[in-house]
A and B are shown apart, each in its own frame.
Chain A
């Protein structure tokens, strides 16, 4: 405390976390005004540095409000607070940013439209009335417009839009809610919509949608393909043209009073509504109100989201009903972001294009969530939640870039105790996805000011990411697929002690050279031991088995000596190949067991999208079905293996209802998992089990495991920061590298 200033004291506060690009300094400014605090605030090396002078109660309120009332997109963390001596200060100012190490920067994800902007956009007297690119320090695009750091307008894709006098004044006024809103825009100086041959682009798009057209609409992180969700002909056209016969289509719903449209279509829980209206504005899988064979055939849920950008708000308001909004891409490829690319690649799908001239620096798909076992679980990272930052339990020896897996790819950059996971990049089969992987790898390193000194990748030699890693020119640390899954989970719940982690998925290369997918790993990151698995069976025709569930049904039948015939297929040649072991690699994949079951129930002999068979099986299953005991025995190497064979007579018993057969499959697997856990607990004393791998996106199975394992005295964990599917591999690879360099 210094003399001569009444009872005033001075505090120096350091705030870290996500505090840049989210309007944090103007917020501090306004807070200081309100509380009568003088001093200054500035950005310093990615953190916010504050000097605050006032009487002690005011300073106390100031410090508390700084966290409690922070802007919705901010994630402030008060990392230092100390009393300092200072001469008396007059007023509160925002000082220019201090240059310094950019290592504490946080690149914010794209932010949903805030209430203030929505209000302005709806006010006929406002200069931004009906303007689809309205934003402020609290909302608008971030990750998809930032081209370089520091986060300044000149380093965004809005650099080409010089501010008009009015925007310029707001941008420079600390009291304005657009003070240093880098993407600030208005109808005079900002981006515009374009629709070929139309003076009113939005009107033209709405008219085309009403006429049953499929329109490609450029949004925040890429194009959407949009059509009237209530027009089955339009939806059928979209499906046919996109070669997407069965995969559920996401809907964007008007944010109407009481969410009437949402409630008319679905039966949302309170958790799901909270998730839908959260700043992330994800696609949420919500139970349908009525059966539907158009939008999401074969499953009981609809993927729905609420408008998150001003353009989407305008679109939905003007259209007045639900719209299908699916990624504007060619199946499996990254979402398209560039006008000419979109016209070239989507020309055969879309009847019209609603473009805009704000360039997209890098794509971000919509994030997807499902509430499982009481918590929102991500299925896909994207716009609104990525780049996702997670604290590492131990520090990395040097910066590492982890390239993840092959499908649903993400990459992760780790340095010190920080890790940043990219949005969904797509399946790494297409040149565009691989180009994007390289771009995002470069961008993340540049934006965070971190240069990777080593790489992580999967052990699978033929993953495109593995091949790229080898050609990168940095040391490569390969990580086994299921070890990465297990470590990603363990790092979300960091505490000491061993885990039993069930890594159930479709396929990953195991340390014995076979294809794993139903493993129980015991240990800690860097030290996983495979202790339980499933009876092995062949993948008839290798990767073909992943696209044709009938092959897995046949494999189980042949392996267990029982009869099964998949419809009209002549399988003599395949039978010979199986007898001779030609392209029939062994697997313990639970994903393929789901395929086999779905095929035996006649739900899906071939599939057009990943996970289809398992989703159909889950949809028809009765929750309370009686399980069949599956024998658990040690094999010659001492590994516990669950035998799936007793499931076959039930799955093939046509006297039983499909609900009963599918339900029995789920409950039997849940019981088998708990039986493995109990056996391993008896051997190791471990009572904490983890569930990860794409199979646990199945709510019925996962919730059955939670219930059974809970009764048996286990603590059960499922990822909720990252998807449990292969999108989590990149982060898990970092954890493995940190634990065991």
Chain B
């Protein structure tokens, strides 16, 4: 029997038998095929170029599964690739786990895996191993992915949040909050808007552009919790104070408008294709120029700096005030009396 006869995933697609083999070969392998992917083998045998080997893993549970500017398939590639990229590595291989809910539409699964394959091909990363599980109805939000990435970092590249120093500049590669806003509106079915798209993308071109810079200290992609959360991670690890200038943080007008109307702070909304970089002040202009020369870095900006002092995130407001931005805690309950 062929997979294409079925319209929905059943528990049989996960029981290790014929249906499962058909699902893997006719759907997953068909899209993700590459010389290193052997669906018969229990383990992939790989060789790596010289350099430090970096490995990372990430889970993906976004709702809705498809949203303007991306879907959970491409996200599962970009998320893990970006974790390697901001660590200074070139991603080489991915492992994939799929957790699919019984009753999931096979046509949708096909779209998601195709999108995943396109994203992987664009980056030049190969999916070399994988697993599929089917969960009983009601036990998964349609589908979850987990991807594990292996990358290689040129010897001598030294990046880390502990290298961050007082006086360093903070840059972001483009407008913040696009992904969080697009997904929020899609999830709540607010109706589609052409001007709000997720920024889901590989950040490899952006990270490559800075890697040779001697003053590069640290990079991170601001995903869950957004720019403010990355800032707090840097502050916590470095013991420094970060100052951001509100007017210098790029936010797209439609994103700003939605946040203003719904009462959200773009500083806390997720990005999926941006990089926050900390560089020595002397290299800030060069880093900015390098990013602005790239298609995905046209909206890059120097947004602030690190300084000695009591650790914390200080936002210099448009009106000349200073606001302490605290870490996100659960739901932002109203507190203004």
Which residues of A pack against B, CB within 8 Å?
243, 330-333, 345, 348, 405-407, 429-432, 434-435, 460-464, 467, 505-509, 515, 517, 539-547, 571, 573-574, 576-577, 580, 582-583, 585, 587, 591, 610, 694, 725-726
Q: Which residues of A contact B321 (CB under 8 A)?
A: 330-333, 430
Interface residues of B in 296-336 (CB under 8 A from A): 310, 312, 314, 319-324, 326, 329-330, 332-336
Closest B residue by C-beta to A434: B324
- Interface residue from A435, A467, A546 paired with B310 (Cβ < 8 Å): A435
Closest B residue by C-beta to A430: B322
**Would A547 and B334 be within 8 Å (CB), given that A330-B320, A573-B190 are in contact?**
no
Closest A residue by C-beta to B331: A585
**Would A462 and B335 be within 8 Å (CB), given that A348-B320, A430-B323, A431-B324 are in contact?**
yes
Interface residues of B in 31-79 (CB under 8 A from A): none
Tell me whether B312 and A431 are in contact (CB under 8 A): yes
Q: Which residues of B contact A407 (CB under 8 A)?
A: 336-337
Interface residues on B, range: 20 to 34
Closest A residue by C-beta to B320: A330
Q: Does B188 contact A (CB under 8 A)?
A: yes
Tell me whether B334 and A405 are in contact (CB under 8 A): no
Shortest CB distance B194–A (Å)? 15
In the bound complex, how far is the Cα of B324 from the Cα of A572, in angstroms?
A: 32
Q: Does B122 contact A (CB under 8 A)?
A: no
In the bound complex, how far is the Cα of B314 from the Cα of A435, in angstroms?
A: 13
A-B contacts, 11 listed (Cβ < 8 Å): A345-B320, A406-B337, A429-B323, A431-B312, A461-B329, A467-B326, A507-B335, A541-B262, A574-B262, A582-B262, A610-B337
In the bound complex, how far is the Cα of B18 from the Cα of A292, in angstroms?
A: 85
Interface residues of B in 259-284 (CB under 8 A from A): 260-264
Q: Which residues of B contact A430 (CB under 8 A)?
A: 321-324
Tell me whether A330 and B322 are in contact (CB under 8 A): yes
Tell me whether B333 and A509 are in contact (CB under 8 A): yes
Q: Which residues of B contact A331 (CB under 8 A)?
A: 319, 321
Question: What is the predominant secondary structure among interface residues of chain B facing chain A?
Answer: loop
In the bound complex, how far is the Cα of B319 from the Cα of A540, in angstroms?
A: 25
Closest B residue by C-beta to A581: B188
In the bound complex, how far is the Cα of B240 from the Cα of A369, in angstroms?
A: 41
Shortest CB distance A542–B (Å)? 4
Tell me whether A539 and B188 are in contact (CB under 8 A): no
In the bound complex, how far is the Cα of B324 from the Cα of A582, in angstroms?
A: 25
Closest B residue by C-beta to A508: B337
In the bound complex, how far is the Cα of B259 from the Cα of A582, in angstroms?
A: 12
Q: Which residues of A contact B332 (CB under 8 A)?
A: 462, 542-543
In the bound complex, how far is the Cα of B332 from the Cα of A582, in angstroms?
A: 12
Shortest CB distance B229–A (Å)? 15
In the bound complex, how far is the Cα of B310 from the Cα of A587, in angstroms?
A: 36
Tell me whether A546 and B322 are in contact (CB under 8 A): no
Shortest CB distance A477–B (Å)? 19
Q: Does B3 contact A (CB under 8 A)?
A: no
Shortest CB distance B110–A (Å)? 30
Tell me whether A243 and B334 are in contact (CB under 8 A): no
Tell me whether A542 and B319 are in contact (CB under 8 A): no
Q: Which residues of B contact A542 (CB under 8 A)?
A: 263, 332-334
In the bound complex, how far is the Cα of B8 from the Cα of A418, in angstroms?
A: 72
Tell me whether B334 and A333 are in contact (CB under 8 A): no
**Would A573 and B258 be within 8 Å (CB), given that A464-B324, A544-B263, A583-B263 are in contact?**
yes
Tell me whether A587 and B320 are in contact (CB under 8 A): no
Tell me whether B262 and A577 are in contact (CB under 8 A): yes
- Interface residue from B260, B319, B329, B336 paired with A243 (Cβ < 8 Å): B319
Which residues of B pack against A, CB within 8 Å?
184, 188, 190-191, 258, 260-264, 310, 312, 314, 319-324, 326, 329-330, 332-337
Q: Which residues of B contact A405 (CB under 8 A)?
A: 337
Q: Which residues of B contact A429 (CB under 8 A)?
A: 323-324
Q: Which residues of B contact A509 (CB under 8 A)?
A: 333, 335
In the bound complex, how far is the Cα of B263 from the Cα of A507, in angstroms?
A: 16
**Would A582 and B188 be within 8 Å (CB), given that A330-B321, A431-B312, A541-B262 are in contact?**
yes
Besides A330-B319, A431-B312, 11 more A-B contacts (Cβ < 8 Å) are A243-B320, A348-B320, A431-B310, A431-B322, A506-B336, A507-B334, A541-B262, A543-B263, A545-B263, A585-B334, A587-B334
Shortest CB distance A120–B (Å)? 42
Tell me whether B336 and A431 are in contact (CB under 8 A): no
Closest A residue by C-beta to B318: A243
In the bound complex, how far is the Cα of B261 from the Cα of A540, in angstroms?
A: 9
Q: Which residues of B contact A694 (CB under 8 A)?
A: 337
Q: Which residues of B contact A591 (CB under 8 A)?
A: 337
- Interface residue from A434, A506, A540 paired with B337 (Cβ < 8 Å): A506
Closest B residue by C-beta to A726: B337
In the bound complex, how far is the Cα of B319 from the Cα of A330, in angstroms?
A: 9
Q: Which residues of B contact A345 (CB under 8 A)?
A: 320
Shortest CB distance B56–A (Å)? 31
Q: Which residues of B contact A467 (CB under 8 A)?
A: 326
In the bound complex, how far is the Cα of B263 from the Cα of A407, in angstroms?
A: 19
Closest B residue by C-beta to A576: B190
Q: Which residues of B contact A583 (CB under 8 A)?
A: 262-264
Q: Which residues of B contact A582 (CB under 8 A)?
A: 184, 188, 262
Centre residue among A462, A545, A576 by max chain B CB count within 10 A:
A462
Shortest CB distance B257–A (Å)? 9
- Interface residue from B264, B326, B329, B336 paired with A546 (Cβ < 8 Å): B336
Shortest CB distance A131–B (Å)? 35
Closest B residue by C-beta to A458: B335
In the bound complex, how far is the Cα of B320 from the Cα of A571, in angstroms?
A: 30
In the bound complex, how far is the Cα of B319 from the Cα of A610, in angstroms?
A: 17
Q: Which residues of A contact B334 (CB under 8 A)?
A: 507, 515, 539, 542-543, 545-546, 585, 587
Shortest CB distance B159–A (Å)? 29
Closest B residue by C-beta to A579: B188
In the bound complex, how far is the Cα of B320 from the Cα of A639, in angstroms?
A: 45
Q: Which residues of B contact A577 (CB under 8 A)?
A: 188, 190, 261-262
In the bound complex, how far is the Cα of B263 from the Cα of A541, in angstroms?
A: 4
In the bound complex, how far is the Cα of B334 from the Cα of A506, in angstroms?
A: 10
Shortest CB distance A478–B (Å)? 14
In the bound complex, how far is the Cα of B263 from the Cα of A547, in angstroms?
A: 11
Q: Which residues of B contact A573 (CB under 8 A)?
A: 190, 258, 261-262
State the 4 A-B residue pairs at the shortest beta-carbon distance, nearest first. Answer: A541-B263, A506-B337, A546-B336, A544-B263
Shortest CB distance B243–A (Å)? 10
In the bound complex, how far is the Cα of B337 from the Cα of A517, in angstroms?
A: 9
Q: Which residues of A contact B330 (CB under 8 A)?
A: 461
In the bound complex, how far is the Cα of B162 from the Cα of A540, in angstroms?
A: 41
In the bound complex, how far is the Cα of B337 from the Cα of A429, in angstroms?
A: 13
In the bound complex, how far is the Cα of B330 from the Cα of A587, in angstroms?
A: 19
In the bound complex, how far is the Cα of B312 from the Cα of A262, in angstroms?
A: 46
- Interface residue from B261, B322, B324 paired with A574 (Cβ < 8 Å): B261
Q: Which residues of B contact A506 (CB under 8 A)?
A: 336-337
Closest B residue by C-beta to A461: B329
Shortest CB distance A327–B (Å)? 13
Q: Which residues of A contact B312 (CB under 8 A)?
A: 431
Closest A residue by C-beta to B188: A580
Shortest CB distance B239–A (Å)? 14
Tell me whether B320 and A507 are in contact (CB under 8 A): no
In the bound complex, how far is the Cα of B191 from the Cα of A185, in angstroms?
A: 72
Tell me whether B337 and A507 are in contact (CB under 8 A): yes
In the bound complex, how far is the Cα of B190 from the Cα of A431, in angstroms?
A: 38
In the bound complex, how far is the Cα of B334 from the Cα of A540, in angstroms?
A: 11
Q: Which residues of B contact A726 (CB under 8 A)?
A: 337
Shortest CB distance A254–B (Å)? 32
Tell me whether B333 and A461 are in contact (CB under 8 A): yes
Closest B residue by C-beta to A539: B334
Centre residue among B312, B320, B335 by max chain A CB count within 10 A:
B335
Q: Which residues of A contact B184 (CB under 8 A)?
A: 582
Q: Which residues of B contact A461 (CB under 8 A)?
A: 329-330, 333
Closest B residue by C-beta to A591: B337
Q: Which residues of A contact B320 (CB under 8 A)?
A: 243, 330, 345, 348
Q: Which residues of B contact A507 (CB under 8 A)?
A: 334-337
Q: Which residues of A contact B336 (CB under 8 A)?
A: 406-407, 506-507, 543, 546-547, 610
